[in-house]
Amino acid sequence: MGQLIVFLTLLALGYGFGRLAESRHYRSIIAREDALRSLLVLPDRMPPIQFQNHASTLVTGSVVISVDYFKTVAAGLRGLFGGRVGAYESLLDRARREAILRMQEEAQSLGAEAVFNLKFETSRIGQNAGQGLGSVEVLAYGTALIPAPVSASAASVVAR
């Protein structure tokens, strides 16, 4: 009986706080995505010719997001029946978008115009990684192309 009460309390806490954290996170993601829309992020391997006078540097963004108790239980139940695990889909979606945003923020602080060759790296961390998802780390990285102020005249010569 005691165990059941603990379980239900954890489930309720996980549901309440997890929902709250998720909706707050999505609001912040959507607002920042709107603000950073002008900074291009492409998975293309080669930049087009217009970028040939830009300086390039590696930019990264990473985030570690934890599951909540409700999601762990919901995904465990889903594991019995099979099918889409919506609880984990939204978790990974949040983590990826957050990682891209942090990478874009770094690129923007360097004055970059675009980020090329975007790559993702996802890994699972945490001591309970064997049982459930635990927490997930997403890293997004790419090459930021920064317009060089010195070669601005050279760029205009090339453009002509």
Q: How far is the CB of 74 from other proteins (least distance, A)?
A: 12
In the complex, least distance from residue 54 CB atom to other proteins, rounded to whole angstroms: 5
Nearest CA to 123 out of 142, 101, 138 is that of 138
Smallest separation (angstroms) from other proteins to the CB of 22: 7
Instruction: Provide, rounded to whole angstroms, the least separation between the CB of residue 99 and other proteins.
Output: 10
Can you give the binding site for other proteins, defined by CB under 8 A? 10, 13-14, 17-18, 21-22, 25, 45-47, 51-54, 56-58, 60, 62-69, 71-72, 98, 116-117, 119, 121, 123-129, 134-135, 137, 139, 141-143, 145, 151
- Cα–Cα distance for residue pair 12/25, rounded to 1 Å: 20
Provide the CB-side half-sphere exposure for 84 (13 A, CA): 4
CB 140 within 8 A of CB 96: yes
Q: Is the dihedral of CA 10, 12, 15, 18 positive or negative?
A: negative
Residue closest to 40 by CA, chosen among 138, 107, 99: 107
Q: What is the CA radius of gyration of the chain?
A: 21
Q: Which is nearer to other proteins, 10 or 36 (CB)?
A: 10
Shortest distance, CB of residue 116 to other proteins, whole angstroms? 6
- The residue among 64 and 82 lying less far from other proteins, judged by its C-beta, is 64
Report the alpha-carbon distance of residue 23 to residue 133 in Å, rounded: 20
Judged by beta carbon, residue 20 or residue 77, the one nearer other proteins is 20
Taking the least distance from each CB to other proteins, the nearer of 108 and 151 is: 151
Nearer to other proteins, 68 or 104 (CB): 68
